[in-house]
Structure 1
């Protein structure tokens, strides 16, 4: 489900949605990203958005929040994000958008998405406070976004419990996929000294070896975080029967394959 949800939810971060935000005065992609994703938190200051999003380097959020709120309101950002995301999803899945089974999939995904406790999950809680769209494509995107952010809040909790910061998490991800951290898209832009200090800190903890590769301890802690994230993401699906969950997975697979 994590893979299926990710594929659907991430249409938000494609060019179609970006164009909707640029049309209302956003200066670049990241203005729209932060406006749309942070909007469920209301007019939260950059420090709060930084804490909730967790994985951005210091100062990155403040380049966009609160500037974006001088151009649009959170309510407007939510409407733009939903409209752009639904348009992107509809375009990318083609005829499946109008298939007779899509409303059923949207209903099943939504039942799961609105069923989990919100305690300790600020971004998920913010999304839960919003109205669920009626239109099936928008509804499916909204459900996927709820499930994605529910998992994300749990992932952040797992990182905190294991003492891994947001930038450190990116370094561990890069190493786990045999990518040099300085070439990894989420952190390659950081000043070399800043990134080197993060890697040195992981090396001091025995998680990275002298050649900037994974140690056994580094691999174990990442596996532990992933396992905890999976366990913390289970709750929404408990409301579905085994047959309904199978139906949802089978139905979403062709959608995700197109995405």
Structure 2
């Protein structure tokens, strides 16, 4: 489900929504990112957004929150994000946007996305408080975003459970992909001394060896985190019976394929 839902939710971070936010006075991509994604939390301070988003380095959120709220309100950001994300999704999937089955798929995805408990899932809860769009493409995007952030909140729980901080999580991911931490897109810009200290901390726990590679223990920790994330992401789909879940999967597959093709 992650592979089918994630491409729909992440159209939010593509060119069309970015340009829509820039047109409203945002200075760069990250202003629009934080305005749109944090908007369901209301006028939460940077410290709260940092805690909920979990994996940004110290100070990164504060470069954008609360500055963006001097240019746009959270309510306006929610509306811009929904409108532009639906437009981006429609553009990317082409004829599938007008498929007679899309409304049914959007309804099934929405049933799943609005069925899970909100306790302990701050960003998911914020999204659940929003109105569900009526237009099918926007409704599908909204459902995918709910499911994505439900999973993300659960992933943060898995990281906390295993005492892995946000920057540490990026280091583990980079090393699992065979990359050096200072090559990885989300953290390559951090000061070398800061990254070295994070890696030293992981080395001290036996998760990274002297050559800067993951140890067996490091790989096992990361696998346990991913397995727990999957387990915690499952409850929304419990509301669907087997036939409905199969129907949802069948309907999402060509959409995910079209989005993948659009990215290439």
* TM-score interval (norm. to shorter): over 0.9
Q: Distance in 1 between matches of 2:16 and 2:182?
A: 29
Give the unaligned 5+ runs of structure 1: none
* Cross-structure match for 1:90: 90
The whole-number CA distance in structure 1 between the counterparts of 2:74 and 2:58 is 23
Matched, 1:10 2:6: no
Instruction: Map 1:76-155 onto structure 2 (within 5 A).
Output: 76-155=76-155
Q: Structure 2 regions of 5+ residues with no counterpart?
A: 260-264
Q: Which runs of 4+ in 1 moved over 4 A?
A: none
Residue 56 (structure 1) shift: 0.1
Q: What is the match of residue 184 of structure 1?
A: 184
RMSD over aligned CA atoms reads 0.4
Tell me how many residue pairs correspond in the alignment: 259
What displacement does 1:225 show? Answer: 0.4
Deviation (angstroms), 1:129: 0.1
Partners of 2:225 and 2:250 lie apart in 1 by 27
Cα displacement (A) at 1:238: 0.2
- Partner of 2:173 in structure 1? 173
Distance across 1 between alignment mates of 2:3 and 2:168: 23
1:177 to partner: Cα distance: 1.0
Report the Cα distance in structure 2 between the residues aligned to 1:161 and 1:191, rounded to whole angstroms.
Answer: 27
1:67 and 2:67 matched: yes
Deviation (angstroms), 1:258: 1.1
Any idea what SS the aligned residue of 2:115 has? coil
Matching residue of 2:241: 241
TM-score after normalising by structure 1: 0.99
1:54 corresponds to? 54
1:153-189 superposed Cα distances (whole Å, 9 cap, x missing partner): 0000000000000000000011111111111101011
Determine the C-alpha separation between the residues in 1 that align with 2:253 and 2:171. 30
Q: Distance in 1 between matches of 2:32 and 2:147?
A: 21
